[in-house]
Amino acid sequence: MLNDMEIIDEPNDDLKESYVRDVFFVALNCGKLLLESGAETYRIEDTMMRISNSYGISNPQVFVTPTVIIFSMNEHALTQTVRIDERANDLGMVDVINNLSRDISAGMPLKSAIRKIERIHESLVFPLWLMVLTGGMVGFMFLLLFDGALIDLPAAAFGGALGVFIMEGILRFTKVKFFTEFFASLFIALTALLYVTYGPGANMDTIIIASVMPLVPGVLITNAIREMIRGHLLAGIMKGAEATLTAFAIGAGVALVFMII
């Protein structure tokens, strides 16, 4: 990895402008990829600062909220704002960037860091069929964790798989998360309703809760509170709003089915 060694400049006031711009590029893109993959904002700020510092840039300033990154290198009169529209949970990408930042701290030359960033497009993504199967498994497990009736197991597993399939399926056509969550929970609730009304189903609520679990914004709520306690009030409030909106979408989907009854 370190075959083409490059001497990292000592921190001083007359760094070459192209060098500073390259460091800026690396740090900003790492932050952007992290934010799009659902990392915590304080962790992103920390990573960007650390990358800048290890390439000898003094006094970088970074401000991250869930929708925007503002990054400045004050000594070099460089500032950029990046808007983030899509956020998802991609823990694989978080790991990739974390390794890159670790390498940089250990003295990776700037050129190879840039090459590595340019080559990162997608981390390894699990295939759709595996995710759908996993959704089914999660529904199955949660029905048992919530002490549901054994007779409801097939419906919970099917509902969980269906929810994940609709989420992932519709997300490829529209980027509005509200609708994907709405339709997913609508069809989950319909499944539960049909299974209880025309099938052997025992308890509609448990089926819906178990199979809606992959959609529920539980992680988002918890992270929102963690951000707030850490002092990132804006990020916490925004994540809280996002979680409320998700909960509302799920509730609306289920509500539509309850109105049918």
Partner 1 sequence: MAVFVYQFILSFFASMGFGILFNAPRRALISCGLTGAAGWLVYFTFMDMGVTQIVSSFAGGIVLTAVSIYNARYLKMPLVIFITCGIIPLVPGGIAYQAMRNVVLENYQLAISYGIEAALIASAIALGIITSEMFHSLVNTILSKLKTGE
> Nearest distance from residue 90's CB to partner 1, in Å?
5
Residue 135 touches partner 1, criterion: CB under 8 A: yes
Residue 254 touches partner 1, criterion: CB under 8 A: yes
**Residues 233-252, interacting with partner 1 (CB under 8 A):** 247-248, 250-251
Among 48, 57, 94, 108, binds partner 1 (CB under 8 A): 94
Residue 178 touches partner 1, criterion: CB under 8 A: no
Among 108, 155, 166, 209, binds partner 1 (CB under 8 A): 209
Whether 15 and 55 have beta carbons less than 8 Å apart is answered as no
Residue 212 touches partner 1, criterion: CB under 8 A: yes
Among 11, 151, 218, 233, binds partner 1 (CB under 8 A): 218
Tokens 């075959």 — which residue? Answer: 3
Give burial (CB, 10 Å; 0-12/13-18/19+) of 174.
exposed
Residue 123 touches partner 1, criterion: CB under 8 A: yes
Please report, as ranges, the residues that interact with partner 1 according to CB under 8 A: 38-40, 43, 89-95, 98, 102, 123-126, 130-131, 134-135, 137-138, 141-142, 144-146, 164, 205, 208-209, 212-214, 216, 218-219, 221-223, 225-226, 229-230, 247-248, 250-251, 254-255, 258-259
